Amino acid sequence: MNISKCALTSSYRHYFPYISNVRVPFLDLNAVHSPIRNQLEEVFSNVLDESYFVYGKDVTEFEISFAGKHGMAQCLAVGNCTDALNICLKMLGIGAGDEVIVPAMTWITDAEVVSNLGAAPVFVDVDADTYTLDIDKVKAAITPKTKAIIPVHLFGQMVDMKLLMELARSHDIKVIEDCAQSHFAEQSSEKAGSIGHAAVFSFYPTKNLGALGDAGAILTNDKDLYNDCRKLANHGAPDKHGHEFPGMNSRMDTLQAAILNLKLQYIDKWNEERRGLAKIYSNELSDLSAIQLPKTAGSNTHVFHVYNILIEYRDDLKQFLKEEGIQTQIHYPKALPFTQAYAHLDHDASDFPNSYRMQEEGLSLPLFPGMTLEQQSYVIEKIRSFFQK
Ligand SMILES: *Cc1c(COP(=O)(O)O)cnc(C)c1O
């Protein structure tokens, strides 16, 4: 294998493990993009003509419309969601000696940002049915050092924000929603990202609303926080040269913003399509008692970033599907307390039984806008035939 082929294969691995005989990919971004290819190319060409590649007008346009669609006062476009969270927590003054409550089952961002600020992530288990923060366990984890809670709307369904906000307000704790997997999910008609003190978003290419590279954003109604975050992301300056403190460089490219502005026209339709596909999976697999299907809490509108099932023989099913050309994923192979990065905290499975079960039994099935009914029927048929063996 030559070097460029190697590099290609390994970079694809970041999205999903490479399998050679793929019949149904976990996610086919071409299927998402091909219906709007002409429009995407028009965006490229406009940005090229304009030649204002950083802080171009598309970025401001995106900030205004993304904030507006959430009924929020301010949006700050940044480089990615990990930066967004780092910027937010730092400007909220989180640092050494502070504790931040983080779900045990999520992407590493939520814990690593806290650790890198010198604060301590305090892991809390997720609910067995919704896979989002268990509010009773959050309550039990609060100490006088708790400065913030990061509810992650995992897989596309929101944490019980009503209960969480009541709890947080009564202890004067900040809530920063992680909406990386939940663009335009709702709870009692309120949108993900519009309830906490601030919210962070990822537009990594595979997310429900994805750029064609890295991008992220912060939403908040707190004007001071917004101004502070804006400065931090711009070398500590409100403008080009007025550096008030040592900051950093975290910007959304004009091109990414322009792509997102286009994609915002389609996100509702894409989320609807995801819900439709999820419903078909749930109907067609409902009689298989060995599988726990995803459950949506009554007040939630799920956006199914991930359709995750639990099954005791997960590894066997995954292998079987792989042999049949079906790509699946595990979200996530290790709950955060069980990664090497947090092994020093010395947790064991009984501390986070639901997160541990997800790590051992969770399997995410292919689901994306543009997935054909033939592809989905094939997945369903193969899962059923696994149980007939
Ligand atoms: C993708 C993701 C992130 C990180 O987003 P980046 O833009 O890649 O930094 C954070 N949290 C969750 C829950 C995610 O799924």
Find tokens 């990664």 and name the residue.
339
Q: Residue 286 C-alpha to ligand 1 middle, in angstroms?
A: 30
Q: What is the pLDDT of residue 21?
A: 83
Those residues with Cβ within 8 angstroms of residue 358's Cβ, 6 or more apart along the chain or in another chain = 105, 126, 131, 308, 310, 331, 332, 335
Q: Residue 378 C-alpha to ligand 1 middle, in angstroms?
A: 30
Q: What is the pLDDT of residue 8?
A: 46
Of the candidates 180, 206, 361, 374, the residue with the CA atom closest to the CA atom of residue 277 = 374
Token reading at 119: 């604060």
What is residue 228's three-state secondary structure?
helix
Q: Residue 131 C-alpha to ligand 1 middle, in angstroms?
A: 17
Task: Let me know: does 359 contact 310? Beta carbons within 8 Å.
Answer: no
Q: Residue 81 C-alpha to ligand 1 middle, in angstroms?
A: 5
Instruction: State the Rg of the chain over Cα.
Output: 21
Q: Which of 82, 100, 110 to mutate to test the pocket of ligand 1 (most atoms within 8 A of CB)?
A: 82
Which ranges in the chain belong to alpha helices (H)?
3-12, 29-33, 37-50, 57-69, 81-91, 109-116, 135-141, 161-171, 223-233, 254-263, 267-285, 314-323, 353-361, 373-388
Helix pair 254-263, 57-69: axis angle to 10 deg: 40
Find tokens 């609910």 and name the residue.
127
CB atoms within 10 A of CB 234: 21
Q: What is the pLDDT of residue 19?
A: 66
Of the CA atoms within 13 Å of residue 63, those in its CB half-sphere come to: 20
Q: Residue 305 C-alpha to ligand 1 middle, in angstroms?
A: 12
Residue nearest to atom 5 of ligand 1 (CA): 81
Of the candidates 271, 58, 91, the residue with the CA atom closest to the CA atom of residue 197 = 91
Longest dimension (CA), the chain: 68
Q: What is the pLDDT of residue 15?
A: 67
In DSSP notation, 28-43 reads: -HHHHHGGGHHHHHHH
Residue nearest to atom 1 of ligand 1 (CA): 180
Residue nearest to atom 6 of ligand 1 (CA): 81
Task: Let me know: does 196 contact 165? Beta carbons within 8 Å.
Answer: yes
Q: Residue 202 C-alpha to ligand 1 middle, in angstroms?
A: 5
Distance CA 255, CA 44 (A): 7
Distance CA 309, CA 380 (A): 13
Q: Environment class of residue 389 by beta-carbon count within 10 Å: exposed (0-12), middle (13-18) or buried (19+)?
A: exposed
Q: What is the pLDDT of residue 6?
A: 44
Q: Which of 153, 181, 329 to mutate to test the pocket of ligand 1 (most atoms within 8 A of CB)?
A: 181
Q: Which of 15, 27, 81 to mutate to test the pocket of ligand 1 (most atoms within 8 A of CB)?
A: 81
Q: What is the pLDDT of residue 16?
A: 65
Distance of CA 89 to the CA centre of its chain: 18
Ligand 1 neighbours, Cβ below 6 Å, are 80-82, 106-107, 109-110, 152, 178, 180-181, 202, 204, 214, 216
Q: Environment class of residue 6 by beta-carbon count within 10 Å: exposed (0-12), middle (13-18) or buried (19+)?
A: exposed
Token reading at 30: 């071409």
Distance CA 6, CA 18 (A): 11
List the chain pLDDT tens, one digit each, 389 residues.
Answer: 344 444 444 445 566 666 678 899 999 999 999 999 999 999 999 999 999 999 999 999 999 999 999 999 999 999 999 999 999 999 999 999 999 999 999 999 999 999 999 999 999 999 999 999 999 999 999 999 999 999 999 999 999 999 999 999 999 999 999 999 999 999 999 999 999 999 999 999 999 999 999 999 999 999 999 999 999 999 999 999 999 999 999 999 999 999 999 999 999 999 999 999 999 999 999 999 999 999 999 999 999 999 999 999 999 999 999 999 999 999 999 999 999 999 999 999 999 999 999 999 999 999 999 999 999 999 999 999 999 87
Measured from the Cα of 202, ligand 1's closest atom is: 7
Q: Is the pTM of this model over 0.85?
A: yes
Distance CA 249, CA 234 (A): 5
Measured from the Cα of 214, ligand 1's closest atom is: 7
Encoded amino acid at 195, one letter: I
Strand ranges inside the chain, DSSP E: 74-78, 99-103, 120-124, 146-149, 174-178, 186-187, 190-191, 198-202, 216-220, 291-292, 300-301, 307-311, 362-365
